């Protein structure tokens, strides 16, 4: 185990914000976690688990001990008549895993291509795109309790997945409210990729690709290529322009609230949900308030997708947060909707 002091975090957060970790330990194996917990000085410190850094805004140097998860490995653990079960180390790159599963002949993750971040971070916010959420392909995960050092396994129900939400985003408030935020370090994730494979094509952008190409029965690899093209066309590549993907969640409202918003602007993009609620496109609300392309200092609103905040070069976390708050205020004043940020502000 190697505990390093004053480690630059700019390469480890996709926003590219300049900040340092007071102390950082690279976690390559489960044993590395046990060594941290056995170390008299490190064990006592509050801890911050860092995956691919694709869902955080750093507003200063990180004082808690940073555990940078680099547990690798990808393997098929089982094949049954109904599914392929694949396992990956939490430190594996997410997109790399999607590509690898397709190359091995295990389709099912193609709609989630090109999402930045690591495998271990994927369940935390139940990543989702183009009609598929992580929970639709999830089998189980292994984690270590950073307070007790005990390893445990959770199934999907225990992860309490919701829209960009899971048990890992909540703090245990009392005996009735179970939460693992800041407490669990995810080590390995297993995926359930159902057989026979069925393409998920019901998303407008994919329907457009089918119409454009005339390919009505695409392979999983073809869908993967389409998703990569769709995302590249409207989302900034974090290696070129720092960002953390969608900055806000798409809000859910009641049909009455939606009718009120339609009265304010009939063009509002909204989708009825199976439970009777209505989901609004946060990107549209932000765009309608005139934010697309605007900036606060070096933090800006991406020109091609107003839901994405970007680092135009040298942005501080404070500038990103100030911009986000200004957006929240104007969306609230115009539409009466409170936007909830997706990334964790550290
Ligand atoms: N829109 C605008 N102006 C904008 C942005 C969007 O009018 O500046 C409109 C679009 O025209 C479209 C609607 O808003 O009618 C929705 O936009 P889009 O299809 O780009 O999807 P989104 O709802 O903004 C969500 C996810 C993305 C995911 C896509 C595709 C959330 C918070 N975001 O975005 O996830 O890739 O759908 O499934 O749910 C992420 O979480 O980081 C992420 C990128």
Structural domain boundaries enclosing 310 = 242-345
Model pLDDT, residue 176: 62
Measured between alpha carbons, how far is 70 from 249 in angstroms, rounded to an integer?
28
202 is a domain residue:
no
Residues 190 and 277 grouped into a single domain: no
CATH for 126: 3.30.465.10
* Residue environment code for 56-77, b if the CB has 16+ CB neighbours within 10 A, otherwise e: bbbbeebeebbbbbbbeeeeee
Residues 187 and 94 grouped into a single domain: yes
175 is a domain residue:
yes
Burial label for 307, CB within 10 Å (0-12, 13-18, 19+), is buried
Model pLDDT, residue 175: 62
CA distance to 13, 285, 286, 293, 300, per residue, from 303 (Å): 21, 15, 12, 5, 9
Helix or strand run (H / E) with residue 95: helix 94-104
216 is a domain residue:
no
172-181 pLDDT, tens digit per residue, is 876 666 899 8
Residues 95 and 174 grouped into a single domain: yes
Model pLDDT, residue 260: 93
Residues 99 and 181 grouped into a single domain: yes
Q: Tokens 């989901």 appear where? A: 279
Model pLDDT, residue 224: 98
Residue ranges for the chain with pLDDT beneath 70: 174-177
DSSP 28-81: -SHHHHHHHHHSHHHHHS-EEEESSS-SEE--S-B-SEEEEE----EEEEEEET
Residues 40 and 128 grouped into a single domain: no
Q: Tokens 């009265």 appear where? A: 263
Residues 85 and 159 grouped into a single domain: yes
Catalytic annotation, pick one of 164, 188, 190, 231: 164
246 is catalytic: yes
Tokens representing residue 161 in the block: 């997945």
End position of a domain, from candidates 179, 194, 209: 194
Model pLDDT, residue 111: 98
Residue nearest to atom 36 of ligand 1 (CA): 129
262 is a domain residue:
yes
Measured between alpha carbons, how far is 13 from 60 in angstroms, rounded to an integer?
13
What is the Å distance from ligand 1's center to 307 Cα?
Answer: 7
**CB of residue 305 inside a 6 A radius of ligand 1:** yes
Model pLDDT, residue 158: 96
Sheet strands (E) in the chain: 3-8, 20-27, 47-50, 56-57, 65-69, 74-80, 83-89, 128-129, 132-133, 138-145, 151-155, 184-194, 242-246, 252-253, 270-272, 278-280, 295-296, 299-301, 308-311, 344-345
Number of domains in the chain: 3
Q: Chain centroid to CA 62: how far?
A: 20
Tokens representing residue 34 in the block: 């046990």
Residues 93 and 121 grouped into a single domain: yes
246-280 pLDDT, tens digit per residue, is 999 999 999 999 999 999 999 999 999 999 999 99
265 is a domain residue:
yes
Return the ligand 1 atom nearest residue 55 CA. Answer: 42
Measured between alpha carbons, how far is 43 from 145 in angstroms, rounded to an integer?
12
Measured between alpha carbons, how far is 341 from 159 in angstroms, rounded to an integer?
21
Q: What percent of the chain has pLDDT over 90?
A: 95
**CB of residue 334 inside a 6 A radius of ligand 1:** no
53 is a domain residue:
yes
CATH for 59: 3.30.43.10
Tokens representing residue 22 in the block: 């007071």
What is the Å distance from ligand 1's center to 127 Cα?
Answer: 13
Residues 54 and 92 grouped into a single domain: no
Residues 88 and 53 grouped into a single domain: no
33 is a domain residue:
yes
**CB of residue 251 inside a 6 A radius of ligand 1:** no
Catalytic annotation, pick one of 70, 87, 319, 342: 342
Residue nearest to atom 1 of ligand 1 (CA): 284
Model pLDDT, residue 218: 98
């Amino acid at each position: 185990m190697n505990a390093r002091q004053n480690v630059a975090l700019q390469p480890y957060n996709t926003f590219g914000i300049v900040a340092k970790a007071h102390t950082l330990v690279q976690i390559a194996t489960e044993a590395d976690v046990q060594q941290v917990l056995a170390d008299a000085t490190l064990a006592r410190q509050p801890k911050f688990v860092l995956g691919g850094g694709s869902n955080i805004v750093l507003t200063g140097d990180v004082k808690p001990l940073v555990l940078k998860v680099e547990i690798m490995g990808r393997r098929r653990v089982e094949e049954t008549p109904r599914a392929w079960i694949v396992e990956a180390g939490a430190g594996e790159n997410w997109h790399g895993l999607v590509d690898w599963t397709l190359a091995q002949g295990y389709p099912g993750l193609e709609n989630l291509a090109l999402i930045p971040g690591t495998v271990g971070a994927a369940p935390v916010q139940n990543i989702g795109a183009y009609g598929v959420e992580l929970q639709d392909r999830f089998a189980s995960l292994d984690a270590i309790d950073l307070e007790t050092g005990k390893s445990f396994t959770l199934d999907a129900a225990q992860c309490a997945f919701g829209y960009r939400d899971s048990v890992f985003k909540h703090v245990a408030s009392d005996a009735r409210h179970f939460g693992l935020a800041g407490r669990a370090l995810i080590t390995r994730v297993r995926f359930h990729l159902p057989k026979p494979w069925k393409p998920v094509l019901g998303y407008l952008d994919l329907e457009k690709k089918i119409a454009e190409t005339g390919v009505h029965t695409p392979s999983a690899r073809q869908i993967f290529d389409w998703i990569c093209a769709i995302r590249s066309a409207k989302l900034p590549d974090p290696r070129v322009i720092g960002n953390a993907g969608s900055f806000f969640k798409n809000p859910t409202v009641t049909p009455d609230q939606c009718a009120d918003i339609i009265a304010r602007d009939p063009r509002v993009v909204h989708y009825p949900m199976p439970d009777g609620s209505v989901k609004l496109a946060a990107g549209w609300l932000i765009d309608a308030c005139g934010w697309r392309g605007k900036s606060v200092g070096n933090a800006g609103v991406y020109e091609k997708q107003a839901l994405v905040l970007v680092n135009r070069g040298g942005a501080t976390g404070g500038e990103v947060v100030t911009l986000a708050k200004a957006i929240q205020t104007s969306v609230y004043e115009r539409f009466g909707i409170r936007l909830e940020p997706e990334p964790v502000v550290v």
